[in-house]
């Protein structure tokens, strides 16, 4: 039963990813007073790209051609290892550390692909996203600090059951949630860290590594970008959110949560401006600091 | 008897230094013999060493195997290496033999003899190109620091000898744990310092980024892959296995040193333009990561937490092997790049994937491994190190907070290492060549050995279980089931699904069915100078970590319209070598001043010295009576 739910969950998550991305874009447009595209627009865009001829820059190699597949494969693998309905059999790998390593793998290949174009924009994007990674990774480890308190090996388990037996543990949970939200905004490549809609060379980060892609490669990359968003929303809600006892109900809850998060993100983005690049270290320091505070409270303070 | 055979092989290799092929063949046999002997010791060896001067124990067998593995691939590599000189053929087998002596030594004198000859032989190997003044200087710095480290180790071992009344390591293993706390602390301090210097932990690292690039590539790969690991070997054997529980400060200090070394090592590596120096700084980083594992083990011993001991030991030993593999792979690839292009300055390279695709594949695989990314071996051992630290953070109080801090440092280190290797492999192998120049074709043995190491690293990343099982048996007192240890990661599933996934998506997107078009550069003609260089790639890091780097830049604008419309710009910039300037320069200055002071009584005439002798004898007679 658990296997079936997990399998359905993976399929649903991968399938609805562009739609969730679309919800965020639509809500953002509405909040800014525009009509905006329909939430399903990304499917049409991906379909259009898929049927176009695929070109590669003249100086690129197999690294450039393989990068979208590596991104997509590592993100699908991330989805597979997340217990989407809150539970997977113990012999199935479900581990936060593994998840972070897979995110790093995706980033590494995007960076390589950027440099492989042999142009300026690719190198610019590669430099920026890998630099961004040096902020994201330590902050993510701190943000999920209370998870280390619960499971000694970093397994992805819902924290709700462990934290709601005393009112004192609500504060660490709240701090961790804020911190995780801040870090994930950066990992998704959304405002205030990166703007997915920009094509100005001064501001683009992830988009710059995608600039030379078109056709099927661009379609895969866009799907992967949407999937990263969906997968990490699901991950955050599994770890920090409430759980039902029924697996199917949890799966339904995940869909609702994802749609709600996408809507909230769209609203939030219409109210934020992009931070300056060199303000980002402070942003990550704040996120990590909040996470460490939560960890400190959860570990019982400084009492030895 | 086996050791006798190995030594005979080694000495034959030395004698055969005039015949390159024979020398290499004997070298290869010696290395393979070391692997076989180490493997035998791990599978069938007795848990305790016997009474002889050279004995095998499981821990020693592990390090012997690591050494043999690196040495065999580097012997194969030397088959086609352009710089395989007479001095290399003469000293390299001796270097290997002395490292084996250090590993197998079972008493103080054998150990110190091996240790010293390891230093001397490696000094001669580092100064292979002694006609270049900078090489000689690097060699001397290396020699001096190694001597200091050897003296500190000798002092620590003599303290052990004084208290245990034996120079026999098997006696130390039996009775070391019963020493009083104060003595243990003294020994820990001295030996920790000595072995730390030899493994190149910060702040005793200055010799490492000088000595490794100066040496020819096979020597760099041996020094980085095997020699600096012997410092870790010493710490494990004497400090953790022999001494047992110590003052709780020590493992915490080891963790701190490991964290500092890993973070600063990678930060310095980021600013390097010389490919081999970059790799040398990454050795410091990886020694730091290994020390984090060692520290977790030490904390486990002192806090009586067997699970931490097991995780820490497995993480440290497995990362030792993994680093030996991927670092020698990267060093050998760097040597191949040098042979191919004649330079190691990354800002002059680029686009080498077209001319040496095999080396490029090996370097990119090594970059993935050293950045700890699946499905390569670095992923497994870094994962285990993280797991050890998460174990610390799982507790309560200050120790948990310390654990979280270490996790964050290791996370930052991993991300920076990823950045650095995106830069290194991207700038060297991808894009367009930055400078045209003659390209020498490479012999198959270079590509073959680099790809061979890459294959080992991939296999260990997907199926590490058998080896982890072996490591787990090294310390029978703290045995944890390997199944339990690796259950959360399930490397075969992760690695297998990843490979299958990439293959499926690559097939779906038909990677072969593409058309080549000029790249986009805002409508202008794109040229190689528009690409990001090593310096521009790391600009943001240099600005963010300015407090560590203290970057400086100097721009001169020349021409009639300067400063607004210069026709030429001269730019120079760099970072301040903080340790050299604020730690080593003052110490060196102090020592120099002291020795100048001593010249006042060292004037040279024989009569003066006779007077000193007479005076000393008189003083002794007066005092002793």
The predicted-structure confidence for B140-156, as pLDDT tens digits, reads as follows 999 999 999 999 999 99
Report if residue B211 sits inside a domain: no
CA–CA gap between residue B476 and residue B473 (Å, rounded): 6
More confident residue, A129 or B518: A129
Do residues B583 and B496 both lie within one domain?
A: no
H-helix segments, B45-57: none
Q: How far is B595 from chain A (nearest CA, A)?
A: 47
pLDDT-based confidence at A202, cuts 50/70/90? confident
Enumerate residues 6+ apart whose C-beta is below 8 A from A65. Answer: A56, A217, B506, B511, B514
Binding-face residues of B in 510-529 toward A, CB within 8 A: 510-511, 513-521, 526, 528
Does position A140 have pLDDT exceeding 90, yes or no? yes
pLDDT in tens, A207-216: 888 888 989 9
Residues of B with CB below 8 A from A58's CB? 516-519
pLDDT-based confidence at B296, cuts 50/70/90? very high
For chain A, domain boundaries = 2-298
Do residues B346 and B495 both lie within one domain?
A: yes
Q: According to the model, what pLDDT value does residue A51 have?
A: 94
Q: According to the model, what pLDDT value does residue B299 have?
A: 92
Nearest residue in chain B measured CA to CA from A115: B426
Most confident residue range from A156-160, A162-166, A294-298, B312-316: B312-316
pLDDT-based confidence at B214, cuts 50/70/90? confident
Q: How far is A191 from chain B (nearest CA, A)?
A: 19
Q: How far is A295 from chain B (nearest CA, A)?
A: 8
Enumerate residues 6+ apart whose C-beta is below 8 A from B547. Answer: none
Q: Determine how many CB atoms are found less than 10 A away from the CB of residue B614.
A: 10
**What's the average model confidence in pLDDT over B245-255?**
90
| Percent of chain B predicted with pLDDT > 90 | 48
Q: According to the model, what pLDDT value does residue B49 have?
A: 60
CA–CA gap between residue B219 and residue B178 (Å, rounded): 41
| Percent of chain A predicted with pLDDT > 90 | 57
Report which of A49, A70, A292 is spatially closest to residue B405, judged by C-alpha positions.
Answer: A292
Residue A135, classed as helix, strand or coil, is helix
B604: left (phi over 0), alpha (psi -120 to 50) or beta: left
Does position A204 have pLDDT exceeding 90, yes or no? no
Copy the structure tokens of residue B597: 């002071």
Does position B380 have pLDDT exceeding 50, yes or no? yes
pLDDT in tens, A45-58: 999 999 999 999 88
pLDDT in tens, B163-202: 999 888 888 888 888 889 899 999 999 999 999 999 999 8
Tell how far CA B353 is from the center of its chain.
26
Binding-face residues of B in 178-217 toward A, CB within 8 A: none
Report angle CA A59, A61, A63 to the nearest 5 degrees. 130
The answer, yes or no, to whether ipTM is higher than 0.90 is: yes
Peptide bond just before B563 cis, omega within 30 deg? yes
Lowest-pLDDT range, B46-60, B428-442, B569-583? B46-60
Do residues B591 and B539 both lie within one domain?
A: no
Enumerate residues 6+ apart whose C-beta is below 8 A from B462. Answer: B375, B491, B492, B495, B496
Q: How far is A142 from chain B (nearest CA, A)?
A: 6
Nearest residue in chain B measured CA to CA from A106: B373
pLDDT-based confidence at B14, cuts 50/70/90? confident
- The reply to whether residue B401 touches residue A76, judged by beta carbons under 8 angstroms, is no
Residues of B with CB below 8 A from A112's CB? 364, 422, 425-426, 430
Do residues B497 and B584 both lie within one domain?
A: no
Chosen for mutation from A130, A204, A279, A304 (greatest number of chain B CBs closer than 10 Å) is: A130
pLDDT in tens, B263-284: 999 999 998 889 999 999 999 9
Total domains present in chain B: 2
In degrees and rounded to multiples of 5, residue B491 shows phi and psi of -55, -40
Does position B47 have pLDDT exceeding 80, yes or no? no
Q: According to the model, what pLDDT value does residue B414 have?
A: 94
pLDDT-based confidence at A304, cuts 50/70/90? very low
Do residues B493 and B591 both lie within one domain?
A: no
Q: Which of A66, A112, A136 sits opposite B430 (nearest CB)?
A: A112
Cβ-in-10-Å burial (0-12, 13-18, 19+) of B87 comes to: middle
Q: How far is B315 from chain A (nearest CA, A)?
A: 14
More confident residue, A285 or B40: A285
Q: Which of A93, A138, A212 sits opposite B489 (nearest CB)?
A: A93
Helix axes of B444-462 and B357-370: crossing angle, nearest 10 degrees:
30
Report if residue B424 sits inside a domain: yes
Peptide bond just before B425 cis, omega within 30 deg? no
**What's the average model confidence in pLDDT over B510-517?**
89
Does position B592 have pLDDT exceeding 70, yes or no? yes
pLDDT-based confidence at B479, cuts 50/70/90? low
Full residue range of the structural domain in which residue B317 is found: 248-506+532-544
Nearest residue in chain A measured CA to CA from B501: A73
pLDDT-based confidence at A164, cuts 50/70/90? low
DSSP conformational letter for B240: I
Residues of A with CB below 8 A from B528's CB? 118
Enumerate residues 6+ apart whose C-beta is below 8 A from B57. Answer: B41, B45, B46, B47, B48, B49
Report angle CA B334, B503, B365 to the nearest 5 degrees. 15
Binding-face residues of B in 420-459 toward A, CB within 8 A: 421-423, 425-427, 430-432
Q: According to the model, what pLDDT value does residue A167 have?
A: 46
Pairing of strands B552-558, B568-574: antiparallel
Residue B274, classed as helix, strand or coil, is strand
Residue A142: how many CA atoms within 13 Å on its side-chain side?
Answer: 29
Q: B396 CB near a chain A CB, below 8 Å?
A: yes
More confident residue, A89 or B615: B615
pLDDT in tens, A77-125: 999 999 998 888 878 888 899 999 999 999 999 999 999 988 888 899 9
Do residues B540 and B602 both lie within one domain?
A: no
Does position A23 have pLDDT exceeding 70, yes or no? yes
Helix axes of B86-104 and B108-126: crossing angle, nearest 10 degrees:
160
Do residues B605 and B464 both lie within one domain?
A: no
Q: According to the model, what pLDDT value does residue B101 have?
A: 93
**What's the average model confidence in pLDDT over B62-82?**
90
pLDDT in tens, B193-212: 999 999 999 888 889 988 88
């Amino acid at each position: 039963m658990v296997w079936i739910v997990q399998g359905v969950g993976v399929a649903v998550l991968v399938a609805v990813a562009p739609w969730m991305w679309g919800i965020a874009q639509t809500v953002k447009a509405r909040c800014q007073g525009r009509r905006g595209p329909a939430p399903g627009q990304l499917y049409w865009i991906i379909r259009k790209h898929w049927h176009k001829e695929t070109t590669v820059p003249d100086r690129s190699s197999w690294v450039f051609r393989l990068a979208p597949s590596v991104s997509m494969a590592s993100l699908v693998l991330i989805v597979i290892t997340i217990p989407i309905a809150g539970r997977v059999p113990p012999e199935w790998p479900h581990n936060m550390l593994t998840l972070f390593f897979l995110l790093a793998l995706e980033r590494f290949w995007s960076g390589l692909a950027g440099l492989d174009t042999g142009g300026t924009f690719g190198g610019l994007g590669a430099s920026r996203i890998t630099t961004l990674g040096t902020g994201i990774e330590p902050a993510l480890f701190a943000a999920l600090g209370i998870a280390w308190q619960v499971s000694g090996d970093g397994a992805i388990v819902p924290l709700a059951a462990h934290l709601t037996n005393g009112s004192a543990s609500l504060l660490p949970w709240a701090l961790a949630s804020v911190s995780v939200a801040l870090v994930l905004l950066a990992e998704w490549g959304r405002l205030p860290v990166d703007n997915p809609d920009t094509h100005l060379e001064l501001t683009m980060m992830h988009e710059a590594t995608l600039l030379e892609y078109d056709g099927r490669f661009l379609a895969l990359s866009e799907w992967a970008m949407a999937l990263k968003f969906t997968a990490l929303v699901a991950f955050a809600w599994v770890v920090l959110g409430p759980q039902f006892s029924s697996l199917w109900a949890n799966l339904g809850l995940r869909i609702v949560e994802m749609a709600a998060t996408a809507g909230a993100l769209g609203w939030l983005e219409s109210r934020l401006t992009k931070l300056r690049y060199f303000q980002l270290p402070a942003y990550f320091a704040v996120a990590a600091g909040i996470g460490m505070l939560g960890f400190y409270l959860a570990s019982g303070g400084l009492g030895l | 008897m086996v050791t006798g055979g190995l030594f005979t092989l080694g000495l034959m290799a030395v004698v055969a230094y005039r015949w390159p092929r024979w020398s290499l063949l004997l070298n290869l046999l010696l290395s393979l013999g070391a692997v076989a002997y180490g493997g035998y010791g791990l599978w069938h060896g007795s848990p305790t060493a016997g009474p002889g001067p050279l004995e095998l124990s499981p821990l020693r067998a592990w390090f012997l195997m690591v050494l043999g593995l690196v040495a065999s691939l580097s012997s194969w590599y030397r088959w086609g290496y352009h710089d395989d000189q007479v001095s290399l053929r003469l000293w390299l087998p001796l270097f290997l033999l002395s490292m084996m002596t250090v590993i197998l030594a079972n008493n103080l004198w054998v150990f110190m003899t091996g240790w010293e000859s390891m230093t001397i032989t490696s000094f001669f190997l580092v100064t292979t190109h002694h006609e270049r003044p900078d090489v000689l200087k690097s060699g001397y710095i290396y020699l001096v620091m190694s001597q200091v480290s050897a003296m500190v180790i000798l002092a620590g071992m003599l303290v052990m000898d004084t208290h245990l009344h034996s120079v026999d390591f098997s006696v130390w293993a039996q009775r070391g744990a019963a020493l009083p706390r104060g003595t243990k602390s003294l020994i820990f301090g001295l030996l920790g310092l000595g072995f730390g210097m030899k493994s190149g932990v910060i702040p005793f690292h200055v010799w490492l980024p000088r000595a490794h690039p100066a040496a020819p590539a096979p020597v760099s790969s041996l020094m980085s892959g095997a020699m600096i690991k012997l410092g870790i070997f010493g710490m494990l054997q004497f400090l953790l296995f022999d001494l047992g529980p110590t003052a709780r400060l020590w493992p915490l200090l080891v963790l701190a040193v490991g964290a500092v070394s890993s973070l600063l090592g990678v930060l310095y590596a980021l600013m390097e333009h010389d490919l081999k120096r970059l790799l040398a700084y990454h050795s410091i980083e990886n020694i730091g990561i290994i020390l984090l594992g060692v520290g977790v083990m030490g904390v486990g011993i002192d806090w009586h937490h067997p699970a931490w001991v097991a995780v820490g030991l497995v993480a440290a030993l497995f990362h030792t092997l993994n680093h030996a593999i991927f670092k020698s792979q990267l060093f050998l690839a760097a040597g191949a790049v040098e042979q191919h292009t004649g330079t190691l300055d990354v800002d002059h390279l680029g686009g080498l994937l077209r001319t040496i695709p095999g080396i490029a594949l090996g370097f990119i695989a090594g970059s993935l491994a050293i950045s700890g990314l699946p499905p390569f071996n670095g992923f497994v051992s870094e994962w285990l190190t993280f797991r050890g630290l998460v174990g610390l953070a799982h507790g309560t109080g200050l120790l948990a907070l310390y654990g979280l801090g270490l996790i964050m440092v290791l996370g930052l280190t991993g991300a920076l290492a990823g950045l650095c290797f995106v830069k290194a492999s991207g700038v060297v192998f991808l894009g367009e060549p930055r400078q045209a120049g003659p390209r020498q074709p490479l012999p198959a043995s270079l590509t073959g050995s680099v790809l061979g190491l890459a294959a080992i690293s991939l296999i260990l990343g997907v199926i590490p279980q058998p080896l982890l099982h072996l490591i787990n048996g090294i310390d029978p007192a703290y045995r944890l089931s390997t199944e339990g240890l690796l259950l959360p990661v399930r490397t075969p599933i992760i690695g297998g699904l990843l490979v299958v996934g990439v293959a499926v998506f690559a097939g779906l997107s038909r990677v072969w069915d593409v058309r080549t078009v000029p790249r986009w550069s805002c409508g202008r003609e794109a040229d190689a100078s528009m690409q990001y260089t090593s310096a521009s790639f790391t600009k943001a890091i240099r600005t963010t970590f300015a407090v560590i780097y203290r970057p400086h830049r100097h721009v001169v604008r020349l021409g009639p319209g300067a400063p607004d419309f210069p026709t030429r710009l001269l730019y120079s910039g760099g970072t301040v070598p903080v340790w050299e300037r604020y730690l080593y320069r003052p110490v060196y200055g102090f020592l120099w001043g002291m020795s100048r002071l001593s010249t006042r009584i060292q004037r040279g005439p024989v009569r003066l010295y006779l007077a000193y002798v007479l005076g000393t004898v008189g003083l002794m007679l007066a005092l002793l009576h």
